[in-house]
Amino acid sequence: MGSYRFILSGGGTGGHIYPAIAIANELKVRYPDAEFLFVGAKDRMEMEKVPQAGYKIEGLWISGLQRKLTLKNLMFPFKVISSLIKAANIVRNFKPHAVVGTGGFASGPLLKVASGKGVPCVLQEQNSYAGITNKLLANKVAKICVAYDGMEKFFPKDKIVKTGNPVRGDLVSLTSNKVEALSFFGLQPGKTTLLVLGGSLGARRVNKLIEQELSFFKAQGIQIVWQSGKLYYEEYKKYDCENIKVVAFLNRMDLAYMAADVIISRAGAGSVSELCIVGKPVIFIPSPNVAEDHQTKNAKALVEKDAAIMIKETELDDKFEPAFSNLLSSDSLGEKLGANIKKLALPNATKEIVNEIEKLLA
């Protein structure tokens, strides 16, 4: 057999792109001679992120339907037809041995065409509530790798494999120690450290909350690593001082997690999977602005297992201070949340997803 060829498709957000890159990297370790091609949506972030990771990418002219009647919606049928034609050309020319879809609009046309041509296809669904593209493709693919229990309400039961979500390699083996982590951020040992995560772009409501609560944190003797996101860094960098480290982006997530005693985070699928591996007490503030309210559903799946606290954006003013104070004053609550979230960790997800892909390689 000559070298294998793999197509990976997913995008629109880091939550779809990052798992696709992680899967490609693992396939490359096992098949150093393999050829890889990514397929994304023309004007989305994958067109930049995938080449940065060292892979070729082709863009389809595709986007989602808007909720109201717009010119974009009128273009939608033409985009679908254009994408199906281009996807058919890509599959015909590249001749993949397997295709992997990690969600996002571009994976729809590509996997529809590939499965129709008899190419084995694998879906990876990161969320506890399946995305629309993956639901539409479920009957056409060979295997569906998921991260949560109860996914048979969206997908055929016999195709589901619970693998978890791919996470960064440096998190699976957190080796740095706390003293080293604190000194990296210029913080003091012996003080409670809060880590605030709003995603790479940042989260407006989370940033507003932290700004609002700075005197409350100060009164509690808390020091903070505050990842404001690049959209908001200019607005919040003025708060950077001895006890508050404001950063646009965290290049050393392993050290940030190691330094933290308590974490405040959005509840995107990738973040949730990472936080399970980290095993620290977390307060989730889900973004209400994502498709099908995925983040609230992801956070609820953990709250139901006594593995995290969730506060909705609309309830922050009333509930945040009591919940945070309660967590600080009760060692047993923090320990219970940390232990329970760690039980949900699936650190070998990438390897297990690639095992499933290998089974389909004839």
102 is in an annotated binding site: no
**Cα→Cα distances 218→88, 193, 269, Å:** 59, 12, 31
Q: Is 205 labeled as ligand-binding?
A: no
265 is in an annotated binding site: no
SS (H, E, C) the chain: CCCCEEEEECCCCHHHHHHHHHHHHHHHHHCCCCEEEEEEECCCCHHHHHHHCCCCEEEECCCCCCCCCCHHHHHHHHHHHHHHHHHHHHHHHHCCCEEEECCCCCHHHHHHHHHHCCCCEEEEECCCCCCHHHHHHHHHCCEEEECCCCHHHCCCHHHEEECCCCCCHHHHCCCCCHHHHHHHCCCCCCCCEEEEECCCCCCHHHHHHHHHCHHHHHHCCCEEEEECCCCCHHHHHHHCCCCEEEECCCCCHHHHHHHCCEEEECCCHHHHHHHHHHCCCEEECCCCCCHHHHHHHHHHHHHCCCCCEECCHHHHHHHHHHHHHHHHHCHHHHHHHHHHHHHCCCCCHHHHHHHHHHHHCC
Whether residue 188 is annotated as binding a ligand: the answer is no
State yes or no: 228 annotated in a binding site: no
The reply, when asked if residue 295 is annotated as ligand binding, is: yes
- 287 annotated binding-site participant: no
What are the binding residues?
13-15, 127, 168, 200, 295
What are the binding residues for UDP-N-acetyl-alpha-D-glucosamine?
13-15, 127, 168, 200, 295
